[in-house]
Amino acid sequence: MLARFTGKAGGVDDLQIAEYPGPLGIHEAQEIENNIAQVLVERIVTGLTATTGGAATKRAAAQHPRAIVFTGTAEEVDGYFLAQEWSDGLPVVAPTLERVASFLRYTDRAHDEEIAILPSANLRATPWNIAVNGVMAGLRPVHMPLLIAAVEALADPECRLASIGSSSGIFPYVLVNGPLAKTLGLENDAQLVSRGANPALGRAVGLIVKNIAGFRPGASYMGTFGYPLAFALAENETASPWEPFHVSRGFAPAQSTVTIGVTNNWGPAPAAYSAQGQSGAQSALELIAKEIKSSTRLFNFPARGADAERVMLTILMSPSIAQSLADAGYSKPQIKQHLYEHTRMSLREFDWVLKYTTISGQSARERVAEGVFPPEFSGAPDDSVRVLSSPDILHIVVCGDPHRNRVMVLEGGHTYPVTKPVVLPAKWDELVKESAK
């Protein structure tokens, strides 16, 4: 299915597929040879010689985006949307014309204006279909500017959205910064992803990724164990001792922004305690380094060069942890530099990771020879090596329960966080007052 979706994204509706039988990565060499000779070759020949029936010439006329697709009770709507694979498996708010229109009041963009083309389906994201997904998620209309900024971030080439269908199970999250976070009810402290507008905003972005970008589980979204719902959070800029995340990315403090990132995980969130002879800051830095070394994508963290897969690590830290680090004299860049220099393990341990968690099974020394890893990875087995390619793959966000000393490391691959400014309609202040009634 993924190959067919890829073909469709490239303009080939009837791409013929010769599929290898079974999971190639765990088959022995002889089994692979037999499968190729006995199964795959025949499938290739059939694909090259069979008549396709001209599927590319039989495309159905595109349905008007404002057409009524179904009428019925709430339960019937849910059943229909589920059957069409438009929902995330949970009940949806029916996107009636009136509800969609209420969202469109919160943008000055034309209803059918192209905001972006989202891979891998390469469909047009417009205010209309963005609003439809916002309605379905249970989001309030006043959040429409956040959704548009999120779509712009998803479409940015740096985001590399087309790469998130990996079997490792990558899914998006939304980070909101700036004054709008408070205005629009985005939570930034205790239990933040589960409260306020956060759950609905995360869900709306997840539906957009499914319905406009075209990532459908089992078809082009191939996480081995599936996916939790996308989530949203806001940074606690008031409690943070440092500049906010969006300011570190070049935006003014008063500018509200939306950042789209991806992660393979949500949790755990271990606590840092002062040990004998250690400060709270030292304990926190050691804990974060340990969490980084336990990441599933550790095998790729040292990679560098133009061809290296993009990786990112977003460190969520509670305000108490952030304050202990600030009191010890650490700025955000200094924390990143410290972690870059001190997140280490023996080359023997790292070679084990490469051998048993990658398809190639290459050694670190072989990757050095290819120019993927730095020279220090060609040393002796007991040498200590840095597992991060650069301080720049680390991102720090202060949020969560201010009375807890916890951290969480979100790891992601194939893509990179993208931040976009939120553009408000001309009558924003008037609209916000109306929405509060």
Q: What is the pLDDT of residues 157-174, one digit of tens each?
A: 989 899 888 888 889 999
Q: How is residue 375 written in tokens?
A: 């020279």
Give the per-residue pLDDT at 17.
84
Q: How is residue 88 written in tokens?
A: 């995330």
Per-residue confidence in pLDDT tens, the chain, 437 aa: 556 655 655 545 567 888 888 876 678 888 888 888 888 788 888 878 876 554 444 444 446 767 888 999 999 999 999 999 999 999 999 999 999 999 999 999 999 999 999 998 999 999 999 999 999 999 999 999 999 999 999 999 989 899 888 888 889 999 999 999 999 999 999 999 999 999 999 999 999 999 999 999 888 888 889 889 999 999 999 999 999 999 999 999 999 999 999 998 888 899 988 766 678 899 999 999 999 999 888 888 998 875 566 678 999 999 999 999 999 999 999 999 999 999 999 999 999 999 988 877 789 999 999 888 999 999 999 999 999 999 999 999 999 999 999 999 999 877 889 999 999 999 999 999 988 87
**One-letter amino acid of 32:** I
CA distances from residue 284 to 199, 260, 275, 292 in whole angstroms, order as listed: 29, 26, 11, 12
Coil, strand or helix: which one is 295? coil
In angstroms, the CA 152 to CA 135 distance is: 19
Q: How is residue 213 written in tokens?
A: 């970008």
User: Of all helices (H) and strands (E), which one includes residue 98?
Assistant: helix 97-104
Whole-structure pTM value: 0.85
Give the per-residue pLDDT at 12.
58
